[in-house]
Every structure is written in C-alpha cells, then in structure tokens.
Amino acid sequence: MSQHKGKIITGLIVVFIIFYAISVYWSVEPSRVNVITQAKQEAQLRGEKFVTGYTTTSALINVATTLLNKPGGYLSNDMMPPSVLMDNMPAWEYGALEMTRDLALSMRKDFSRSQSQSTEHEALKKAQPQFNISSEAWAWPSAESEYQKGIDFLIVYRTQIADQNARESQFYARADNLRGWLKEAEKRLGSLSQRLSASVGQERLNTDLAGDKEAHQATYAPLQNQVKTSWWKIDDVFYESRGATWALLHFLQAVEYDFADVLEKKNARVSLQQIIRELEATQETVWSPIILNGNGFGFVANHSLVMANYISRANAALIELSELLAQG
C-alpha cells in the first residue's frame, strides 16, 4: 500500500515539474522585431508595393499575430492547466491587446479617412470590432477566432492600400491623424503609471475638476483618498505594463517611418525617438524571480515604481510631441 502511495506521489511530482517547465517556457515574453524590415520583407513576399501606411498596418498585424502564435499561443482564455494557473503572461497579453485595440480604432476613424465626413473603409470597419471581444472569451466565438478575423481584415486593407488602382483605400499620414492616436496612447500610459505608483499606497488629492471653477461632477468625491494596488494585483499591473509598452514600441517605430515627413516638418522626430528610448528601458530583463514591492527608499526594490518612472517620462514626452504636432 505504501509503495502504491509512493508511486502516486512520484507521479504528481513529475506532473508538477512538467507543468512548471511548460509554464516557464510559455512565460517568456516575445522579443522585439524591426517593424520596418519586417514590413518590407512581407511586401516583397506578397508582391505588393511598399506604400505609406504599409509599415504601420504591418506592425498592427504582426503584434496581433504574435499574441496568437507566441509559445503557448494565446493564454488569457485557457481553462486547463498549466495556463489556467498562470497570470503574468495573460496580464502581458492584455496590455498588448489594449494598445492593439487603440491603434485599430485610430486606423478605422482617422488614418484611413481624409476628413470627418468621409466614408469608413469597409475592411477596417469589420476589423476593429473583432478585437473588442472579451480577452477571456473561450466558448464560441473564442477570443482567438475573433482576433484572427480582425487580422485577416487588416491584411485585406493592407493589400488594398498597396494597390494603385484601389484609390478608395488610403492611409493618410497627417499630423492631426497622428496626434489623435498619440492622445489615446497618452491616456493608456497615464493610467498604467498611476496604477504602478499605487503599489506602495498614496494619499492623493482630488484634482478631477482642477482648472475650471465652474466644473461639476455627477456624484460627490472626497478631497483626498487612499489609493493602493492590492498586492495580489501588483505583478499583474507590472506585466500588463510590459505588454502595453512592448506593443507601443513597435507601433511608434512604424509611425516614425510612415510619418517621417510630417515629423521632420514639425521638427518632432527627435521627440518621438526620445519616447522610444524611454520605453525601451521598460523591456529590460527582469532578473528577480518575483516582482518586489519595497517601500520608497526601503531595503527591498520596488519594480512597479521603476516601471512607473520609465512610463511617466515617456508619457510626458508624448504630451510634448502632441503639442508640437498641434502647432502650425
């Protein structure tokens, strides 16, 4: 009887080791790629003209494809071990997905339209909603199947803008279009920075109505309140930020190429390059096996505050870039 129990225990240990090894492998974050080189290669392979907008569209396609095809595939909606027990990679996926959703929306309502009353591009009209399904949807339709449909529609759009005869399909590299998307990125980074900073808990003054003495809000809010991210969620917020900045880095690199003339005219290219440099620091290797949550200048490091610092600096540079683009 004891021998039988020993075999069961040994078997469980082996299964645990296998699951742990798989989890470690699936938790490896995708590396960055050169989106310009990648887009040129895809255009050559598909026999398509490398036009304005091809790089940005390709970056969006490839970031979304990476979510589905990285080691382990898309994990956020998995219902079986070991992925159901993992939370860092699903948080990373969600961060990248949010950035993907923002760019897909800007592609639909801004980049592909010449003016506010122009007609939406049919492929983008179908692509953008596909990315809005819940990231945890596993039954029919699953998140993966809907995201893949969105990718397929984006590929259709990319092919059409490369076709010189399809003149109704366009990508407009204008300062106002770029500024609209950057404003969305600002909000994402600002939110992430605040949530990361709240890892140690802060007493925050209510500045919601600052700057307008006639402003009102729907319900009463205290003049100050305690904001603190639950220690259960600290690593999730950290890896969500890693995923978001990973995706944003690819998009900014693509935008730098497609909007090169606009950026040069506004003398803003160096500002965009500085943002990219700040965000690159968010992708440095995390050597600690766990995300530490030390207090301020305490003995133990606080990875969330370090990440918040990089993101805050990038966000400040994004705001300055938006102001440059708004100038005549």
Structure confidence at residue 297 (pLDDT): 63
pLDDT band of 5, cuts 50, 70, 90: confident
pLDDT band of 87, cuts 50, 70, 90: confident
- The mean-pLDDT minimum among 1-15, 52-66, 121-135, 312-326 falls in 1-15
Closest CA to 123 of 147, 159, 94, 97: 159
Instruction: Return the higher-pLDDT residue of 45 and 216.
Output: 45
Residue 213, pLDDT above cutoff 80: no
* Top-confidence range, 78-87, 107-116, 213-222, 303-312: 303-312
Structure confidence at residue 51 (pLDDT): 96
Structure confidence at residue 59 (pLDDT): 98
- The mean-pLDDT minimum among 72-76, 173-177, 306-310 falls in 72-76
Structure confidence at residue 76 (pLDDT): 87
Average pLDDT, the chain: 86
Residue 56, pLDDT above cutoff 90: yes
pLDDT in tens, 218-228: 565 555 554 55
Residue 230, pLDDT above cutoff 70: no
Mean pLDDT, range 172-195, rounded to an integer: 94
